[in-house]
């Protein structure tokens, strides 16, 4: 089986979000996939098998080091980048079967490289949350929350809690109580907590964020494709951005793994686009 280590949402090695990509994963058991994901020790690893139906082109399963999750954004960007580089796929639109449903993905040729665009499911919004335990677990005070940013769970496949704060400097200094966040995940039925801030000093970037997901074995995730799509939907839903908007989101600075994604939101669709770079290729 062909094995790749890929950094997603960047064109520079050792930045962005590392992903394990295993092509030709036919025949692996659940236990074997989990063991390989634990061995690779990335936030998630993707296991790709051939289609068994005309309804989709490939089937993908995603594992953190400790558990299987329905869908992963940065792995999706990474795996289709690998398929393009390896010649397994030409530029075009593909349907990817996951446990969150069938996802549409487009590979685009950019000069001598590739970019991948992932279309999210339609967003689902929970009512706003008021929870003092959550703020304490994140290390935040009530006055540090933006008043126009309700704390809210939004999902396009994975449920995330979104928390908008006033200062980017506070974002970079957060030291959350990971054990408390892990316990609260049951209360919110979520797979992570996305804390974000705006920074008007950089007009090219709309949002800066950090993603904590200790309940699925990821203390902090560098650049989270499955959070950035619902983030765009959250901004439009709460009138923090236009109904149709395209913007750059940056994440991973505090971890030394800065990466960027292009987010597009309209009433019809939500898309997240990103680059990738292969760090190494091996076999297993």
For the annotated catalytic residues, the residue numbers are 44
Distance, CA of 67 to CA of 38 (rounded, Å)? 9
Helices 225-237 and 73-86, interaxial angle, to 10°? 130
């Amino acid at each position: 089986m062909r094995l790749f280590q890929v950094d997603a949402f960047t064109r520079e090695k050792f930045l962005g979000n590392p992903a394990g990509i295993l092509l030709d994963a036919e025949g692996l058991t659940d236990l074997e996939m989990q063991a390989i994901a634990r061995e690779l020790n990335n936030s998630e690893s993707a296991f790709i098998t051939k289609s068994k139906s005309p309804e989709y082109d490939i089937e993908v399963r995603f594992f953190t080091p400790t558990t299987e999750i329905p869908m992963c954004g940065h792995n999706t960007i990474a795996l289709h980048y690998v398929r393009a580089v390896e010649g397994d796929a030409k530029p075009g639109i593909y349907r990817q079967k996951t446990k969150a449903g069938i996802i549409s993905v487009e590979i685009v040729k950019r000069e001598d490289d590739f970019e991948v665009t992932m279309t999210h499911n339609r967003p689902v919004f929970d009512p706003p949350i008021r929870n003092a335990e959550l703020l304490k677990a994140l290390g935040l005070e009530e006055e540090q929350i933006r008043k126009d940013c309700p704390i809210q769970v939004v999902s396009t496949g994975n449920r995330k809690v979104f928390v908008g704060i006033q200062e980017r400097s506070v974002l970079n200094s957060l030291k959350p109580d990971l054990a408390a966040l892990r316990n609260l995940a049951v209360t919110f039925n979520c797979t992570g907590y996305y804390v974000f801030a705006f920074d008007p000093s950089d007009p090219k970037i709309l949002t800066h964020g950090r993603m904590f997901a200790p309940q699925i074995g990821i203390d902090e995730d560098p650049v989270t494709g499955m959070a950035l799509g619902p983030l765009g939907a959250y901004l439009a839903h709460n009138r923090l951005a236009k109904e149709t908007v395209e913007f750059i989101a940056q994440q991973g600075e505090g971890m030394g793994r800065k990466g960027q994604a292009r987010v597009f939101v309209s009433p019809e669709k939500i898309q997240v686009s990103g680059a990738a770079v292969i760090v190494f290729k091996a076999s297993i």
